[in-house]
Structure 1
Amino acid sequence: MKQIHLAAQLPGIHHTTVWSDPRSASQIGFESFARLARTAERGKFDFFFLAEGLRLREHKGELHDVDVAGRPESLTVLSALAAVTERLGLAATVNATFNEPYEVARRLSTLDVLSGGRAAWNVVTSFDAFTGENFRRGGFLDEADRYGRAAEFLAVARELWDSWRAEDVRADQVSGEFVRADAGAFTHGGEHFDISGRFTTPPGPQGHPVVIQAGESPTGRDFAAREAEVVFSKYDRLDEARAFYRDVKSRVAAHGRSPEQVKIFPSVTYVLGDTEADARERAREIARAQVGPRTALIYLEGFWGRDLSDYDPEGPLPDIDPEPENQLLKGHSTFRNGRAETVRRWREIAEQRGLGIRDLVIEVAATPTFVGTPRSVADAIDEFAQTDGADGFIFVPHLTPSGLDELVDRVVPLLQEKGVFRTDYTGSTLRDHLGLTAVSNEAVTPNEAASRRAS
């Protein structure tokens, strides 16, 4: 029987968070992050995850009004959370396009040391000029090259972590602090990076932070299968999730890796009720709060590439064709590729089910994954995992910061009762929680370490 892994995310983009709910608190205040993280740790979750964009999205030249402005930088938040949690993994999204390996590797290694081995890195890429304007790089990197840079970026970070070899590090008998002998020397020459020097930060208890990736395109999936230890999935419907799971796991095996050492986590939501009917009604109310009339039209405009403000949000879909090359919503890949095919599929769904604009957007973008009583939701979570739709789940609550309370108090005990989820942590590091092999900083040179990975 597969043991299920659980994680939590405090959302920062999209329409998930219902800010109008009186129980909703600050989206940027540290206490909100701390409360959600403490709740996740109380529930014995594997990790707490923060997504991050490097620019607020814009819709028709104005800030997209469902994004959180003023959100603090993720690694800084997680470093603070390390002081108010003890076992919970801490996962940050850090961009491999607009950063440099030395700085990122140092900050992640620092988090791993400070947290006692709980750090994780979600490796993401960005190629668009819209984001690049913040860095004065414009669209300098072709889309086809983004994973090439990311792969070399990750390889360099691993070289830097490996540069502190076991034989070069000893603990001072009085202070217990690291004393450097010949540690940290590195040299790397490649297509994107040509650096050398000494890495100043010792490795944390895990050796390497856990590497996370969210590959969706064939290239992205292959990158994730080759490099990642946790793979995020957008598929929260069981049939699609199983197909993604099979595909990625087969790619993992094709790269000579054990599929058991790569965990797949779809992003999911939930709504509970005392009865099934009560849960369905709550789900309907939450979805309509998440997708108001204006949000529904903005969402549609992202795919149509047209101004649809004259259309009734409760009325039928626009009878005009989309303009796939016209991008009204900038800063998110969802609205870039395959829009014509998406619109065609949506027309079919709307016609078959008699859905207007707002109800269609709710159907395709705001329908909760798990809806029901605590018992039926626990059963559905278990079935999803046991039938290979996932190894674990990232729960994205619609309320900040109280959104996990019901799940932890009413569903987690039932999963523990089933014997599919831990009753307590059995290790101290994130790799322990995930059942991943610890990375040993062997007595090898950085070039030897890179050669081993390349082979």
Structure 2
Amino acid sequence: MDRPPRQIHLAAHFPGVNNTTVWSDPRAGSHIEFSSFAHFARTAERARFDFLFLAEGLRLREQNGLIHDLDVVGRPDTFTVLAALAAVTDHLGLAGTINSTFNEPYEVARQFASLDHLSGGRAAWNVVTSWDAFTGENFRRGGFLPQEQRYERARSFLHTTWELFDSWRGDEIVADRRSGVFLGDARAGTFAHRDAHFDIAGRFTVPRGPQGRPVIFQAGDSDAGREFAASSADAIFSQHGTLAAGRAFYADVKARLHRHGRTPEQLLVLPATTFALADTDEEAHERAHEIRLRQVSGQTAIRFLEQLWNRDLSGYDPDGPLPEIDPVPGENLVARGRASVRMYRDPLATAKEWRERAAAKRLSIRELVIEVTGRQTFIGSPATVARAMDEFVRAEAGDGFILIPHLTPGGLDEFADTVVPLLQERGVFRTEYTGPTLRDHLGLAVPEPAVRTAG
């Protein structure tokens, strides 16, 4: 008997400040007005997406001592936006990035527990870390945490919030196994957590939410990040978009789960991806090329190269060859507050690889940056894209995708109207929501509270 096709999970990333958005397009809208967030969320919900995802920016980024061009629009608070979106959606999951380095467990737990109640069980938390002193200057602990300790604090932070979520109990409390909501005369229990990072005690102020705990996402690609996800996360974001790299990443993180007493179904792998659609595959490739040219201007290419080289490269021609000089090793002083800077663990080796690629293909600086910054992109007619996504998931290179459109807020509309119906026809994507919570959408069980359960 043939097995049913693997179901695809879909989510939408509201991209915020970046060069993914084609700002020169007249349809590009505000990244701070609520109408933009509402349009984006409603499109994702009518297409039956699992969730919407917001990133976080704790400091405006700088390049050569100046505020980066793409940060001037500002970055609104994640919790405020998600709470507002809860009022204009009914089913869509609401995921936000919240930093575990510069926040406190009690406050974050209260915020997520409140959001889970307000949304009827749709809250999700992307747990991230930060080690750079530049971001830390906005906080009391600016620069205090060595890089090697950030996941240690993150693990302690996360498990402390779990203690808070689970602290509501009583002698006669019974938790419904499906919803996780406490039945009976629930009351706040005491908590006390003391370790190298936290020393807190008291009573938690928010009852256990519909999901028990918010869904936990993680995005680290290092060995420590993958292990953290395998031990504690419900889903991990991936930047490995090619089929070969995706399968290797997928196999690696799934294989780690057994060490933590977990099964492969308990951790979803969701690659970030872009897309370009048109009536024919040829037209779609032409459109994709035009989009990339508009995303990476000559100035943007030079600024991106500076992040690796750790030098002022403003005198170089973006349509010329890469610099012959090597990157400056050590702390990056050119690009501040940019997550991409941390990705280059060996700048000299990366620069050597880029030079070899540029020489082999005769690429200019701008052409190379366009090539190395491209994510896994699905390009083609709606039918081609739907088939490629299905094949990617069937090949176990991912469990679904985080879509990042090149226009905000309307860039998701075309995908929702043309690709989603074809995925539904293939029987690999839902036609209706089958439950009220984000855990229902993702096929994840409600974590058992430390009390007797019903059913």
Task: Name the TM tier (shorter chain).
Answer: over 0.9
CA distance in 1, matches of 2:311, 2:196: 40
- Per-residue displacement from partner, 1:114-169 (whole Å, max 9, x unpaired)? 10000000000111110110013221111111111110111110000000126566
- The match for 2:229 is 224
Q: Structure 1 segments of 4 or more deviating over 6 A? A: 176-180
CA distance in 2, matches of 1:430, 1:318: 48
Q: Does 2:249 align with 1:244?
A: yes
Q: Does 2:293 align with 1:288?
A: yes
- The match for 1:155 is 159
- The match for 1:261 is 266
Deviates more, 1:227-236 or 1:337-346: 337-346
CA distance in 1, matches of 2:185, 2:197: 29
SS in 2 for 1:135: coil
SS in 2 for 1:186: strand
- The match for 2:121 is 117
Contact 1:215 1:222 in 2 (8 A): no
Deviates more, 1:311-320 or 1:155-164: 311-320
- The match for 1:318 is 323
Q: Does 2:169 align with 1:165?
A: yes
- Per-residue displacement from partner, 1:290-346 (whole Å, max 9, x unpaired)? 000100000001101111111110111112211122521011242233222221111
- The match for 1:89 is 93
What's the TM-score once normalised by structure 1's chain length? 0.93
SS in 2 for 1:266: strand
Q: CA deviation at 1:440?
A: 3.1
Cα distance, 1:180–1:325 mapped onto 2, change above 3 Å = same
Contact 1:127 1:139 in 2 (8 A): yes
CA distance in 1, matches of 2:70, 2:372: 17
Q: What is the aligned counterpart of 1:129 among 133, 158, 169? A: 133
Q: CA deviation at 1:233?
A: 0.7
Contact 2:113 2:206 in 1 (8 A): yes
Q: Does 2:50 align with 1:40?
A: no
- Per-residue displacement from partner, 1:189-227 (whole Å, max 9, x unpaired)? 111111110001011111110000012111111111111
Contact 1:12 1:68 in 2 (8 A): no
Q: Does 2:83 align with 1:79?
A: yes
Q: Does 2:410 align with 1:412?
A: no
Q: What is the aligned counterpart of 1:8 among 9, 12, 26? A: 12
- Aligned sequence identity (%): 59
Q: CA deviation at 1:187?
A: 1.1
- Per-residue displacement from partner, 1:220-243 (whole Å, max 9, x unpaired)? 111111110010111122211111
Q: Does 2:363 align with 1:338?
A: no
CA distance in 2, matches of 1:411, 1:68: 34
- Per-residue displacement from partner, 1:340-384 (whole Å, max 9, x unpaired)? 222111112111211111111111113661111111111111111
Q: CA deviation at 1:437?
A: 0.7
Q: CA deviation at 1:277?
A: 1.3
SS in 1 for 2:70: coil
CA distance in 2, matches of 1:429, 1:181: 21
Q: Does 2:362 align with 1:329?
A: no
CA distance in 2, matches of 1:34, 1:309: 39
Deviates more, 1:280-289 or 1:9-18: 9-18
SS in 2 for 1:379: helix
Query: Unpaired segments of 5 or more residues in structure 1?
Result: 445-455
- The match for 1:429 is 437
What's the C-alpha RMSD, in Å, of the aligned pairs? Answer: 1.9
Contact 1:303 1:322 in 2 (8 A): yes
Code of the aligned partner of 1:427: G
Cα distance, 1:109–1:326 mapped onto 2, change above 3 Å = closer
- Per-residue displacement from partner, 1:30-69 (whole Å, max 9, x unpaired)? 0100100000001100000000021111111111112353
Q: CA deviation at 1:182?
A: 4.0
What's the TM-score once normalised by structure 2's chain length? 0.93
Question: Aligned runs of 1:13-28 on 2, under 5 Å?
Answer: 13-28=17-32
- The match for 2:178 is none
Q: What is the aligned counterpart of 2:65 among 41, 61, 69? A: 61
Query: Unpaired segments of 5 or more residues in structure 2?
Result: 176-180
Contact 2:173 2:451 in 1 (8 A): no
Question: Aligned runs of 1:338-377 on 2, under 5 Å?
Answer: 338-366=346-374, 369-377=377-385
SS in 1 for 2:416: helix
CA distance in 2, matches of 1:128, 1:357: 28
SS in 1 for 2:205: coil
Q: CA deviation at 1:82?
A: 0.4
Contact 1:168 1:182 in 2 (8 A): no
Contact 2:358 2:364 in 1 (8 A): yes
Code of the aligned partner of 1:261: Q
Contact 1:164 1:441 in 2 (8 A): no
- The match for 1:449 is none
Code of the aligned partner of 1:122: N
CA distance in 2, matches of 1:326, 1:228: 30
Code of the aligned partner of 2:191: F
Cα distance, 1:32–1:238 mapped onto 2, change above 3 Å = same
Cα distance, 1:177–1:434 mapped onto 2, change above 3 Å = closer
- The match for 1:197 is 202
Cα distance, 1:234–1:13 mapped onto 2, change above 3 Å = farther
- The match for 2:106 is 102
CA distance in 1, matches of 2:56, 2:186: 37
Contact 1:291 1:366 in 2 (8 A): no
Cα distance, 1:167–1:115 mapped onto 2, change above 3 Å = farther
